[in-house]
Amino acid sequence: MKLPFPLAEEPDEISRETGRKLFAGEIDFLKGVVAMSGLPADDRIEVCFAGRSNVGKSSLINAITGRKALARASNTPGRTQEINYFTLGDERYLVDLPGYGYANAPVKVVEKWQTLLKQYLSGRASLRRAFVLVDSRHGIKPVDEEIMTLLDRSAVTFQVVLTKTDKIKPSQHDGLLQQVRSRLSKHPAAFPELVLTSSEKGEGIATLRSIIAGIT
């Protein structure tokens, strides 16, 4: 019997090379957006990265792009309050969304960027897939469920990427995957594969690159 939401397979040699070439090419910061009116034209394939504050999103983006400071990692969770656009080759945008679920930011600031986040996720026609990052140490939390439900309603395919897998014990993996699979079974927009990653160890980076390269 096949498990629901299996782990994404290691890419074959061709897929791995396609992903490597895509991310070895031109990747440039385009703009930071604070309102929907500032979004670039939706004339490229778009993938976005979403996740709770301090989930390791900036570190993962830096790892897959091979550029140490492309997405500014900060010791202060919740620092990124803009939708940051990066050009990925000639046909794609890679989009870094504001972190959500950070309780210590000012209420008005949180409300503003959460509204922008929800508007973007529900109204961007060129968005092909949202990668929802989940910290392996904590699993899927209620705030993650809120974003996933929004993506369900917007019919935007999302794929869960588990971060910081090097921070948990091997004995904790089965429990983590069971929790994640159980939660995802209730979300019709969930892509039926999970990706395990560690920015520090390089785990899952080639897999994620090849997945993004294969999205059309």
Q: Is residue 57 part of a domain?
A: yes
Domain count across the chain: 1
Taking CA atoms, 91 is separated from 14, 22, 64, 101, in Å, by 20, 10, 17, 32
Q: Is residue 8 part of a domain?
A: no
Q: Is residue 4 part of a domain?
A: no
Domain harbouring 47, CATH code? 3.40.50.300
- The predicted-structure confidence for 159-189, as pLDDT tens digits, reads as follows 999 999 999 999 999 999 999 999 999 999 9
Q: Is residue 95 part of a domain?
A: yes
At 37, is the pLDDT very low, low, confident or very high (cuts 50, 70, 90)? very high
- Region of poorest pLDDT, from 23-27, 88-92, 95-99, 130-134: 95-99
- The predicted-structure confidence for 102-116, as pLDDT tens digits, reads as follows 656 677 777 787 788
Contact 112, 144 (CB under 8 A): no
Residue 48 sits in which domain range? 13-213
pTM score over 0.95: no
Determine the pLDDT at residue 2: 63
Please give the full DSSP string across the chain, using - where no structure is assigned.
-PPSSPBPPPP-HHHHHHHHHHHHS-EEEEEEESSGGGPPPS-SEEEEEEEBTTSSHHHHHHHHHT-TTSS---SSTT---SEEEEEETTTEEEEEPPPB--TTS-HHHHHHHHHHHHHHHHH-TTEEEEEEEEETTT---HHHHHHHHHHHHHT--EEEEEE-GGGS-GGGHHHHHHHHHHHHTT-TTB-S-BEE-BTTTTBTHHHHHHHHHT--
Determine the pLDDT at residue 75: 47
At 77, is the pLDDT very low, low, confident or very high (cuts 50, 70, 90)? low
pLDDT at 215 over 90: yes
Q: Is residue 2 part of a domain?
A: no
